[in-house]
């Protein structure tokens, strides 16, 4: 039912992304979610409360966020479907468009690749620090590139495949509930002691929401690369996340390199398992990963179009 809307939103996002002028004037819905979550954390993540109380508060916060998001999205969609006919689908496209990030992701990773090619490591570190959570100040050029490849693969799911999946499946309520849940996971779904209980519902909910999209993202990467299936099946479950390992292992197999491995967060080195075989990913591999990413986006367009025309 929403395939035409999905294609329109994809086309608009690919053409202009989310322009800075709009961001300055309107912000972005993700920012609205973040403000609500900031208030909810102050209210419900109280150190004096027991772990059980903080977990219940976190569940209540996530349910409230999803409920409000679903209600507003459904009311808007219903009103447009009823009052703006026969051009209602264009209005829905405009409201779905900000939920997709294929252009934004491409541009952010390109901002890492360009200074790497110019051998400007400080600028490359700063750019990759905008899209990853690890420490970047001591990364060499290949380390920056590897972080970029991993972020590109994982965010292909979170920023493109998953929102599109939920848009096609459930329209505006589906795509914006996913974005709300994914934002909650990013902000409060952390394993650190201060957020472990309050953020439990956000983390587990995001895991469930990405189960199908993550595997679809990995499959698309392998499909357009013509390789990587075996390594994806072998290494995806090595990742701490039940979902991020699928597109990351697929990208490692598609490139014939290793990703992940030991990573520093907040000055603490964590010994994570590597994904893939061969040499560690480097600068040239980031450029190759971007080609695969663009092809995978095209394959996603074709898949949605085929569903629409079935």
Burial of 191 (0-12, 13-18, 19+ CB in 10 A): exposed
At residue 29 the predicted structure's pLDDT band, cuts being 50, 70 and 90, is confident
- Pairing, β 263-265 against β 268-270: antiparallel
How many domains is the chain partitioned into structurally?
A: 1
Interval 147-171 mean pLDDT: 97
The answer to whether 238 and 264 are in contact (CB under 8 A) is no
Half-sphere exposure in the Cβ direction for 55 (13 Å, CA): 10
**pLDDT of 89:** 78
pLDDT in tens, 138-150: 899 999 999 999 9
pLDDT in tens, 185-219: 999 998 888 999 999 999 999 999 999 999 999 99
Full-model pTM: 0.94
What residues have CB less than 8 Å from 56, skipping those under 6 apart?
none
Range of the domain at 181: 3-309
């Amino acid at each position: 039912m929403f395939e035409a809307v999905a294609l329109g939103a994809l086309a608009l996002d690919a053409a202009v992304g989310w322009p800075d002028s709009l961001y300055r004037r309107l912000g972005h819905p993700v920012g609205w979610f973040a403000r609500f979550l900031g208030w909810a954390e102050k209210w419900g993540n109280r150190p004096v409360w027991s772990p059980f109380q903080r977990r219940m508060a976190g569940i209540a916060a996530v349910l409230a966020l999803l409920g409000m998001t679903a209600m507003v999205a459904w009311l808007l969609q219903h009103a447009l479907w009823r009052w703006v006919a026969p051009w209602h689908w264009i209005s829905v496209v405009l409201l779905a468009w900000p939920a997709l990030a294929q252009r934004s992701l491409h541009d952010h990773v390109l901002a890492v690749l360009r200074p790497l090619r110019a051998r400007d490591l400080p600028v490359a570190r700063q750019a990759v620090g905008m899209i990853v959570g690890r420490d970047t100040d001591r990364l060499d050029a290949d380390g920056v590139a590897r972080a970029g490849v991993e972020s590109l693969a994982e965010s292909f799911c979170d920023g493109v495949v998953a929102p599109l999946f939920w848009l096609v499946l459930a329209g505006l309520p589906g795509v914006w509930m996913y974005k709300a849940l994914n934002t909650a996971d990013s902000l409060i779904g952390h394993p650190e002691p201060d957020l472990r209980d309050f953020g439990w519902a956000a983390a587990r909910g995001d895991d469930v929401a990405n189960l199908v999209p993550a595997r679809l993202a990995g499959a698309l990467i392998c499909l357009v690369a013509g390789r990587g299936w075996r390594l994806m099946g072998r290494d995806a479950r090595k990742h701490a996340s039940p979902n991020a390992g699928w597109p990351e292992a697929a990208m490692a197999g598609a490139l014939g390199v290793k990703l992940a491995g030991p990573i520093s967060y907040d000055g603490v080195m964590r010994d994570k398992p590597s994904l893939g075989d061969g040499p560690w990913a480097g600068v040239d591999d980031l450029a190759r990963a971007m080609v695969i990413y663009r092809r995978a986006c095209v394959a996603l367009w074709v898949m949605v179009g085929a569903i629409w025309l079935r």
